[in-house]
Chain A
Amino acid sequence: MSLGNFDSLRYFLPELTITATILLLVMVHVAGKNRRSPAAALLSLVGTGTAIFFALLTPAGGGMGLFEGMVVLDGFAAFFKVLTALATAIVIFMSIDCVELSDKTQAEYYVFLLCVLLGMFLLSSATDIVMVYLALELVSIPSYLLAGYLKGKVSSTEASMKYVVYGATASGVMIYGFSLLYGMTGSTQISAIGNALTMGTLPLPAMLAAVMVTVGFGYKIAAVPFHMWSPDVYEGAPTPVTAFLSVGPKAAGFAVLVRFFYTVFASPDATGGMWKLTSSVDWTFLFAVLSAVTMTVGNLVAIKQRNVKRLLAYSSIAHAGYMLMGFVLLSAAGLKAILFYLVVYLFMNLGAFYVVVLVANGSRDEDISHFSGLGTRAPLAAVSLAIFLFALTGIPPFSGFIGKVYLFAEVIHREVYWLVLVAGINSVISLYYYARILKVMFLEDPVHTGELSVAFVPRVMLTILVVPTLLLGVYWEPVIRIAESSVRILIH
C-alpha cells in the first residue's frame, strides 16, 4: 500500500524538520553579518536532534509507501536515518572544534551538511529508481561543496574537483543502468522491477544493468575499484568533512545498496531469513570479489601512509570491504551484521577523526610526526585514539571486535571460507598500520613537547564516543536486537 502525497506528509516529519532547519539556516546566513555565528551550529544541532526524535517514532511493522511509492517508511530506513543523523550531529561538534574550519565557517556550511543529511534520509528510504537517483545527487552535490570548503587550500580545491568528476561519471553510468532496467521492465518502482525480472528476462541486459548500478553505489561506499576519488578527497577536505564522508554517505550507500539489490535482483526465500537470486544474474560472487579486493587494497595501501588522515581514509575503504562481506551472503544475519558494524564503525571512526582534528588544530597538518608523544602531551586524546584504533583493528574488549565477529560468523555459517581467511589476514595487516600510530603516540620519545590542551567540549565529545566503543564490546545485546528487527522488515 502506498499513500498519496498529502497523506504522506505526516509520516515525513524527520525530512520536513531537516528541510525547515535548512531554510532557517539560509535566513540566518543572509541576516547574520557575523562570520562565526554559533547560532547556525546550534540551530543545526537542534534540527538534527529533532529529526532523530521523529525518526525514532517511526511506527513498527510493515513498510508503508509514501508519495505514491517514491519512498518507504520502515524500520530499515529509520535505522539509517538515526545513524546518519547521529553522525551529522557528531560532525557538527567536530566542526565547531576544528580550527581550520571555524575561522571560515558560515551558516552555509551547515546548510550543505544538512542537505547531505536530507539526501541520506531519502537514499535510505527510496523505493523508486528516480528517487534513488535524486537522493544520490542530493548527497553528492553538497558533498562536493563541502570537500572544497577551504577555498584557499589547493588540496581542498583539488579534492572537490576530483570528487565532481568521479561523481558525475559514476552517477552517469548508474543512471544508464537504471534506464536499462526501465526499458526491460517498464517500471521505475524497484519492487515492480524485481517482480518483472523474476518472470525471466534476458540475462545480458540484466547483468549489464547490475554492473552499472554497482558503479554508482560502489562509488558512494568507496569500494575498490570505485574508490580512486576517496584518498585525495579525504586528504584534501577539511577533517570534519572527511569524517562525515567516511561514515554518513557510506552508511546511506549501504542502505540503498542493500535495499536495491535485495529487491531487484533477489527475492525472499520461502524458508525465512534468506534471499534467493532472481534471474540468472549472480551478483553475489562479483561482490564477494569486490569485498576481498576492497579490504586488501585499503589495508595494503594504508601501510605506507604518513598522513594520518589519508591513512584513515584507506582504512575506511578497508572497512567498507569488511561490511561488503555481509552483503553477499543473501541472509538476514549478514545484513544484521552490516547494520551492527555500521553502528560500531560510526563511533570508532568518528572518534579517531575527532582526535585527528584536535591534534591538527595545533599543528595545521596531519602528518604522523605530530602525534609523537601524545601519550604524555594529551593523555585523554591519546588513550581515546588508542581505544578507537584497537576497536578498528577488531581486538576485544572493544566494539569493533564484536562487529567483526558477527560478520565473520555469518561468512563462516554460509561456508565462504576463502573470504573469511582473506578478512582474517587483513585484520592482522591492519594492526600493523594502526599500531604505527600507537607507537608514535606512546612508544617513541616525543619530537614535539609541550602539553596539547584539549578544551572541555572535545573532552566531553571524546568521552561520549569512547563509552559506546567500550560498552558495545562488553554488552551489545540491545543494539543487535535493533539491527535484527530493522532487517526483518526487508524480508516481507
Chain B
Amino acid sequence: MDFISNHILTLMTFLPLAGAAVILLMPRGRDESVKRIAAVASFLPVPLAVQLWFTYDRTVAGVNVASQFQFVEHYSWIPSINVEYFLGADGISMPMIILTAIISFLAVIGSWNIEKQIKGYMALLLLLETGMMGVFCALDFFLFYVFWEVMLLPMYFLIGIWGGPRREYAAIKFFLYTLLGSILMLIVMLALYFNTVNPETGGHTFNMLHYMQQSTHNGWLQGFDIRVLLFLGLFIGFAIKVPLFPFHTWLPDAHVEAPTAISVILAGILLKMGTYGLMRISFPMFPDVTKWFVIPMAVLGAINIVYGALCAMAQSDLKKLVAYSSVSHMGFCLLGMAALTPAGMVGAAFQMFSHGMITSMLFFLVGVVYDRAHHRDIDGFGGLGAVVPVYTFFITVAFFASLGLPGFSGFIAEAMVFIGSFGVFRTIVIIAASGIIIVAAFHLWALQRVFLGPLNPKYAQLEEINPREIFCLSPLALMTLILGVYPMPVLNLMSSSLNHLVDVVKMVV
C-alpha cells in the first residue's frame, strides 16, 4: 500500500499506458478481451482518484509554494540540463485529475460499439489518457511539454481513422493548429530556462515552481517588453487549446468529425488544458503581465461567450451546436480568471469541472442518437420525446444543465464568474451576460425541434437508450445535479489554492 500511496500520481498516469502496451501485445481477433483490458486499465485510476479525494489536505494552497504540493514525486531525469521527473497536485490540478480519471473511463465504456480496428483504437485512447493525466500532474515544464505533445499523436489518429466523412481534414487541421501553439510554448519554455536560476543550485532549471518566484528571473526576463512577448507566446499556445476566438476554427471540425467518445474527451478534458495552462503557468509566472493583460482577456472571454452562442444558434447539426456551445462556455472560464477576484477564479475553475461533465453528457447523447438515426440534423427529427422517453429525460437534463438552469452545476459556476467579475469590468460583463439568453435560446429551440412537436414517422421505431449508455450518462448527470445543489465538495478542494493564486497575481506591483 505504501508503494501505491507514494507513487499515486505516477500510477494514475502510467497505468493506462501499461494497458495500452498489453493491448498491443494481444493477438489479433480478441476484440472482447481488448475492450475488457482497456476498461480495466482506464478504470484503475478511478479508485486512485477516490483515494486522492479522501487524502488531499484542503487547507494548504500549493500554486507556487513547493512545500505545499501533495503526492509529490521528484526525481532527477536528465541531470545535464536539470530536467526532472516532478509530479504533484494542488487545488488547481486536483479537480482536473479527478475529472480526467472519470471521463477517460466513461469514454472507454462509451467506445464499446467501435468495430473498426478496436485494438489500435483502445491503445491510442489509453495513450491519450496518459498524456492528459501527465499534463495535470507535471510540475516540471519539460515534462509538462512532453505530456502536452504526447496527446497530439493519439488524437490525430483517433480523429483521422475513426472519424466522420471529413476526418482527414479535421485531423490535420487540429494537429497543425495545436503544433503551432506548442512550438510557441517550446520557445517560451527555453527562454525561461536560460533566464532563471535555481535558487538552491545556481544552475538553470525547468522546475515550474522556481519560475514562479520572481526573484529567480534574470537576464531579459527583467524587461517588461520581453515578458509581454513571452506571455503572449504562451497565451496563444493555450488559447488555441481553449479555444479562444480567433483561434477556435479547428474546434467545430475536430468535434464534428471525431467519434463520440473522442469528442467527449476533446470537450471534457482537452479544452480545459488551455485554461489550466493559464492558471498553472501564465498567471503565476508572469503576474505583472497578467495584470496588464486582464482587459484583453476579459474581452476575448466575452467574445467567446456571445460569438460561440450565436454560432451555436445558427447550426443545423446537433453536434456542431454542442461544439459551439463549448466555445461559449469556455469563455466564462476566461472571463472569471481575468477578473482576478477569488469568486471569479473559483468560478472559472468550477466551470472547467462542471463543463467537463455537462459537455461530456451532451456529446454522449448526440452520439446515441447518431448511432441510431445516422444523421444529426436538428430539423430532421421531431417529436422524439414520445418515442424515447428515457433518452429525452437525459438530454433534457443535460440541456438544462448546459444552459445554466439553477440546480445544476453550470449555474453555480456561471453565477460565480459573473459575481466575481461584475465589479471589475462592468460593461464587458453586461455584454457577456446577454450571451446567457442566447445560450438558453438555442438550447430550448433545439430541444423543441427534436423532441417536441409532431412525430417524424421515420423515427417511430427509434431504439431506446441502452443500459451501457445509461451507465455512461448517469454518474455525470448525478454529479451535475449534486454539485448544482451543494457545490462545496469541489469548491473546498480548490478554493485555498485559487485564493492564493489571486493573491500571487494581485500582490505584484
Residues of A within 8 A of B190 (CB): 405, 408-409, 412-413
Of residues 368 to 415 in A, which have CB atoms within 8 Å of B's CB atoms?
Answer: 376, 390, 393, 395-397, 401, 405, 408-409, 412-413, 415
Residue B202, interface by CB 8 Å: no
A424-B172 contact, Cβ under 8 Å, with A396-B145, A396-B146, A405-B190: no
Residues of B within 8 A of A427 (CB): 179, 183
Contact of B186 (CB < 8 Å), options: A390, A424, A425: A424
User: Which segment, of A18-26, A48-56, A181-189, A438-446, faces chain B?
Assistant: A438-446
B168, A412: Cβ atoms under 8 Å?
A: no
A395, B149: Cβ atoms under 8 Å?
A: yes
Residues of B within 8 A of A408 (CB): 186-187, 190
Contact of A431 (CB < 8 Å), options: B117, B160, B179, B186: B179
Contact of A432 (CB < 8 Å), options: B77, B152, B172, B186: B172
A397, B146: Cβ atoms under 8 Å?
A: yes
Please give the distance in Å from A221's CB to the nearest CB on chain B. Answer: 24
Q: How does the 8 Å CB contact mask read for B132-169 relative to A, with 1 for contact and 0 for none? A: 00000000000001100110110011001100000110
A400 to B191, CA, bound (A): 20
B157, A431: Cβ atoms under 8 Å?
A: no
Please give the distance in Å from A451's CB to the nearest CB on chain B. Answer: 12
Give how many B residues have a beta carbon under 8 Å from the other chain's beta carbons.
33
Please give the distance in Å from A401's CB to the nearest CB on chain B. Answer: 7
A264 to B80, CA, bound (A): 30
Residue B425, interface by CB 8 Å: no
Residue B180, interface by CB 8 Å: yes
Please give the distance in Å from A447's CB to the nearest CB on chain B. Answer: 15
Give how many A residues have a beta carbon under 8 Å from the other chain's beta carbons.
33
A476, B78: Cβ atoms under 8 Å?
A: yes
A409, B194: Cβ atoms under 8 Å?
A: yes
Residue A27, interface by CB 8 Å: no
A396, B180: Cβ atoms under 8 Å?
A: no
A393 to B149, CA, bound (A): 12
Residue A222, interface by CB 8 Å: no
Cβ-closest chain A residue relative to B157 = A442
A427 to B149, CA, bound (A): 14
B176, A432: Cβ atoms under 8 Å?
A: yes
Residue B324, interface by CB 8 Å: no
Please give the distance in Å from B30's CB to the nearest CB on chain A. Answer: 16
B168, A424: Cβ atoms under 8 Å?
A: no
A439-B194 contact, Cβ under 8 Å, with A408-B186, A424-B183, A431-B175: no
B153, A395: Cβ atoms under 8 Å?
A: yes
Cβ-closest chain B residue relative to A387 = B153
Residues of A within 8 A of B98 (CB): none
A443, B152: Cβ atoms under 8 Å?
A: no
Cβ-closest chain B residue relative to A443 = B160
Contact of A428 (CB < 8 Å), options: B150, B156, B183, B220: B183
Q: How does the 8 Å CB contact mask read for A430-456 relative to B, with 1 for contact and 0 for none? A: 011001001100111000000000000
Residue B401, interface by CB 8 Å: no
Residue A465, interface by CB 8 Å: no
Residue A243, interface by CB 8 Å: no
Residues of A within 8 A of B184 (CB): 424
Residue A457, interface by CB 8 Å: no
A397, B80: Cβ atoms under 8 Å?
A: no
Cβ-closest chain B residue relative to A413 = B194
Residue A481, interface by CB 8 Å: yes
Contact of B168 (CB < 8 Å), options: A376, A401, A439, A477: A439
A442-B180 contact, Cβ under 8 Å, with A390-B153, A409-B190: no
Most buried by B among A395, A397, A425: A395
Residue A421, interface by CB 8 Å: yes
Residue B223, interface by CB 8 Å: no
A443, B150: Cβ atoms under 8 Å?
A: no
Residue B171, interface by CB 8 Å: yes
A443-B171 contact, Cβ under 8 Å, with A412-B187, A480-B80: yes
Contact of A477 (CB < 8 Å), options: B79, B117, B171, B191: B79
B168, A444: Cβ atoms under 8 Å?
A: yes
Residue A420, interface by CB 8 Å: yes
Residues of A within 8 A of B161 (CB): 442-443
Residues of A within 8 A of B160 (CB): 438-439, 442-443
B80, A435: Cβ atoms under 8 Å?
A: no
A397, B167: Cβ atoms under 8 Å?
A: no
A432 to B161, CA, bound (A): 17
A435, B175: Cβ atoms under 8 Å?
A: yes
A98 to B326, CA, bound (A): 52
Please give the distance in Å from B294's CB to the nearest CB on chain A. Answer: 27
Residues of A within 8 A of B193 (CB): 409
A481 to B79, CA, bound (A): 11
B179, A401: Cβ atoms under 8 Å?
A: no
Residues of B within 8 A of A475 (CB): 77-78
Residues of B within 8 A of A481 (CB): 80
Q: How does the 8 Å CB contact mask read for B408-429 relative to A, with 1 for contact and 0 for none? A: 0000000000000000000000
B152, A395: Cβ atoms under 8 Å?
A: yes
Contact of A412 (CB < 8 Å), options: B153, B167, B194: B194
A395 to B179, CA, bound (A): 9
A306 to B252, CA, bound (A): 30
B176, A443: Cβ atoms under 8 Å?
A: no
Please give the distance in Å from B169's CB to the nearest CB on chain A. Answer: 10
Please give the distance in Å from B344's CB to the nearest CB on chain A. Answer: 34
A312 to B499, CA, bound (A): 53
Given contact pairs A396-B146, A397-B146, A435-B172, a sample of 19 additional A-B residue pairs in the complex whose CB atoms are under 8 Å apart: A376-B117, A395-B152, A395-B179, A396-B145, A396-B150, A405-B190, A409-B81, A409-B193, A415-B220, A420-B187, A424-B186, A428-B179, A428-B183, A431-B175, A431-B179, A439-B160, A443-B171, A444-B168, A477-B79
Which 4 A-B residue pairs are closest in the complex by CB-CB distance? Answer: A424-B183, A396-B146, A443-B160, A412-B190
Q: Hey, which bits of chain A sit against chain B, CB under 8 A? A: 376, 390, 393, 395-397, 401, 405, 408-409, 412-413, 415, 420-421, 424-425, 427-428, 431-432, 435, 438-439, 442-444, 475-477, 480-481, 484
14 pairs from A and B in contact (CB 8 Å cutoff): A393-B179, A395-B179, A396-B146, A401-B146, A401-B149, A405-B186, A408-B186, A409-B193, A412-B194, A420-B187, A432-B176, A475-B78, A480-B80, A480-B81
